[in-house]
Structure 1
């Protein structure tokens, strides 16, 4: 056990909770105290991840943020990739032609709405919609950009399909109904996890990752010891090598504690 990475939403953050439970944070700090690099691997920016950990900097000092576009270790950024401003402009023009769709980019934890309405963003991602600010198109490349639609799963996937067709230099995935992640082609949570593994000089068998959803698939597929919580989507469960209990039961915290004790908590 040298590197542990975990998704946040519905993996260690139960639905409806505003911060990662203290019990999980304690398990992460315990593994860190034993020399293991531990942190979130999330679609959120580091500033927002820190909010979800109640400002516990130790738990996010190692972090893969914005679906792999930013990688941190020991509190320092060791890698950053961006979405070109010209691509943001093209996406904004496309979503503006679609009913109830829009585009939001971020300045740290602040969502900036450059296409669509705050009402539709609130329907797709309530926490972002409530605090978003209207903004023009960015004049510079940006790290975190999301397309959204106030619609069902089929509409969300159609939005991702359309954007993928029109912008083949980018990748898109659907972490939840109404919301679409955007990454440079070929770069994602899985690529970032392997980058961090190699940056730290960790052997493949000493890396553990935990996830629950489609935006975790690249991470679950890239890492040998991949683990899905029991509430994972069918695709995530199939991609994972190991399986544990539910997010709501703090199963990841139990697994991290067991690994810290030198136990192997997964069925072989």
Structure 2
């Protein structure tokens, strides 16, 4: 006869929620390893909890995963120069030839990856409110409890995040405007034009650089403009090409010998750059399906 003890029932109920909890944590953190750690921590907290006091297990677990994920995001923000074991999400690179109709297929295939890149540009509280409400239909009063804010405040955070996300999902004509912002950034970076960089960078811009030694993060327009982005955009690159990276405007560059130098993608909010993701790790660049240099 099967063992229907309370402990086994709780385990079965948790396992039934595991995939959804992992999905919540991954969209919050953009890291499979971190998502697994968060779900495991949620299980440990559940095992120490008197389950008789839990009236809605799915809701309780979502709240716990949300709170743990928020702590992780805030810890990252407090240590922006730290390197993380997880690399940036898988990158799908296509040539940006003024967004011909056939590009729509490539864009559709990369929507999920593009969203992860966009979410990286949000503040921790914005990201939690957007992910939990818009992607997993968690009510704003529950989100507010996680954040220690009112339901109205949580709703405002989700709305602000939604505007940033929607700003990256604009029609072809608007994508050309985004490309112009990127071109202005690259031109200013090559000239070492600090003021020009500040004009196109969001004050809270986030730069993520995937190097051979790990992922390095820099936050804020002043810090990004003062050196990190300039070094990446300049350096020893000899040729470059406009591309789409997970559906976002990007730029790939090569050295004189034809080996890839860097791959950059840009998250645009309004008329400013809110996020820059860069790959300069030679091994990762060599493994990618990049277009040939022209």
TM-score over 0.5 (shorter chain):
no
Q: TM-score, normalised by structure 1?
A: 0.24
> Greater CA radius of gyration, 1 or 2?
2
Write 1 or 2 for the structure with the bigger share of strand: 1
Q: Which has the higher helix share?
A: 2
